[in-house]
Structure 1
Amino acid sequence: MKFRVLAPAVAFSALALVGTTVATTGTAVAASKPDCSRQIVNVPAKEAVKVRTHAKVGATGVSQWNKGKKGSLCNDGHFYTGQKYKLCGKTSTKWLYGSEFNKKRGWVPAACIKWS
């Protein structure tokens, strides 16, 4: 008899927990991509750099921003903190969100883009 009373409570708790996890994950994913309605354009790359899905050196590359090629930066070129890297002659945790023109957007190390 105790099992019948306990089982619905356990099932309800499990559903509530799953719902909370999905909502939290959904919010985090939505907040991870900067607003691209305001952009800085004609920004060249210092060196060829991969455009990545996340602000991590090991994240999947979706495109490449080639040396000297111009592109755009989202959210007025604000820096975001990501994984620490040593690229383009600097060590930093600053990342930018943008892309070389006509390519997929993603994260690039700020040290590799000519932006101050």
Structure 2
Amino acid sequence: MKLKSLGTALTTAALIGTALTGAVATGGTASAAAPPECSSSLVNVKPKESVKLRSLPKTSATALGVWGKGKPGGVCFDERHPYTGGRYTACGETSDQWWYGSPNNSDVSGWVPATCLPI
């Protein structure tokens, strides 16, 4: 699984944003386009259905690829829970929770609906 980290750039952007707005960033939300920093992953995850890997955690975001039904892969597991994003209905459930991950042997990573991953 290829998961990216933007470290210093994200920290700098967060500090500038906080200084300009007075807002405090919270963990577990995925409002930015950047993937989460991932130092821990959960492996051998198999989607219940084929799911699109998206550039942002919302269904209107660009589809970067597909993670096939039952194909093993991994998700970023630093927060130990999914990230909040856009609302969707997938795999028979409605939610706003998303995981960032990819199928094994793929160079493409993206956001996938949490309801489709048995975690």
- TM-score normalised to the size of structure 2? 0.68
Which residue of 85, 88, 113 corresponds with 2:88? 85
Q: CA deviation at 1:29?
A: 4.8
For 1:1-116, list aligned pairs within 5 A.
24=17, 29=32, 32-76=34-78, 77-103=80-106, 104-115=108-119
The letter for the 1-side match of 2:91 is C
Q: Provide the secondary structure at the position in 2 that maps to 1:111.
A: helix
Letter in 1 for 2:41: Q
1:25-59 Cα deviation digits (max 9, x unpaired): xxx858x4212221110010000000000001011
Task: Give the Cα–Cα distance (whole angstroms) in 2 for the partners of residues 29 and 50 of structure 1.
Answer: 19
Q: How many residues align structurally?
A: 91
Q: Superposition RMSD on alpha carbons, in Å?
A: 2.3
> Which blocks of at least 5 consecutive residues in structure 1 are unaligned?
1-19
The 2-side partners of 1:70 and 1:80 are apart by 20
In structure 2, the gaps of 5 or more residues are: 1-12, 18-30
Instruction: Return closer, same or farther for 1:72/1:80 CA change in 2, 3 Å cut-off.
Output: same
Answer with 1 or 2: which has the greater Rg: 1
User: Higher helix proportion, which one?
Assistant: 1
The AA in structure 2 aligned to 1:67 is K
